[in-house]
Amino acid sequence: MEQRPPDAEAGARVLVVDDDPTVAEIVTGYLDRAGHLVERAGDGPEALARAAAHRPDLVVLDLMLPGMDGLEVCRRLRDHGPVPVIMLTARGDEDDRVLGLEVGADDYVTKPFSPRELVLRVESVLRRARPAPAASGLLRAAGLRVDPAARRATRNGAELALTVREFDLLVFFLRNPGRAYAREELMREVWGWDFGDLSTVTVHVRRLRGKVEDDPARPRLIRTVWGVGYRFDPSDGRE
């Protein structure tokens, strides 16, 4: 019997949304064996109804759904508060993956995929979404105030609605100001993966800029270092 890592996050409520009953059954089976409480939905309206009745800890969401597609489902889920989303897509077009990230997905897996890899992705996102009891104290810079333990962030006193990955990225930048990081390094340090589509990092940086910069088109906090990656520079801030 395959054993789970000792730090794996078990017992989460996971909503699996896929109109392919075979895929949904396989994903549900693997997540169930990993110790999670799994609900299934075959389309967007059913998914939203189930999420409204019992708020999930994470949603595994197919992009290609009948009627209301996964992008719209993700938007509507996010309208009711932050919830981690892993997008499933059968498409090979990078634009579709980027669109999923743009509307708030935390990660994506391209079909066909390994169910074991999907479980690892689910548990990686869940670990980062849950407050860490040993997390360090408040982080402050440039009008930002971040509490890693409570997973709350404000800008000039206003609450920021951040996805799991956006929050982790902001915490990482606040803890490591002034140094330029390559996208590969950010993928490893923030996502916990040694490989992956680096456009994931690009999209999340762009989304984060939209929430923490005065003018996202001319960022002063999260700067692009051409030929390298990104650098957090709070020197222009108020704190």
Q: Is the pLDDT of residue 218 over 60?
A: yes
- CB-CB contact of 173 with 225 (8 Å): no
**Residue 92 CB contacts under 8 Å (≥ 6 apart), including other chains:** 110
Report pLDDT for 102: 75
Report pTM.
0.68
DSSP character string of 202-214: HHHHHHHHHHH-S
Q: Which H or E element spans position 187?
A: none
Report pLDDT for 149: 84
137: helix, coil or strand?
Answer: coil
Report pLDDT for 45: 94
- CB-CB contact of 45 with 101 (8 Å): no
The number of beta carbons lying within 10 Å of the beta carbon of residue 35 is 13
Dig out the tokens for 103 from the structure.
């509307």
Q: Average pLDDT in the 75-99 region? A: 77
Q: Average pLDDT in the 39-58 region? A: 93
d(CA 225, CA 76): 35
Per-chain mean pLDDT for the chain = 85
Dig out the tokens for 2 from the structure.
């395959």
Q: What angle do CA 87, 120, 45 make, to 5 degrees?
A: 30
Helical axes 115-129 vs 164-175, angle rounded to 10°: 60
d(CA 15, CA 40): 6
d(CA 191, CA 181): 14
More confident: 37 or 113: 37
pLDDT tens-digit profile of 150-192?
889 999 999 998 888 899 999 999 999 999 999 999 988 888 7
DSSP character string of 165-215: HHHHHHHHHHHSTT-EEEHHHHIIIII--SSS-THHHHHHHHHHHHHH-SS
Report pLDDT for 89: 81
Report pLDDT for 110: 83
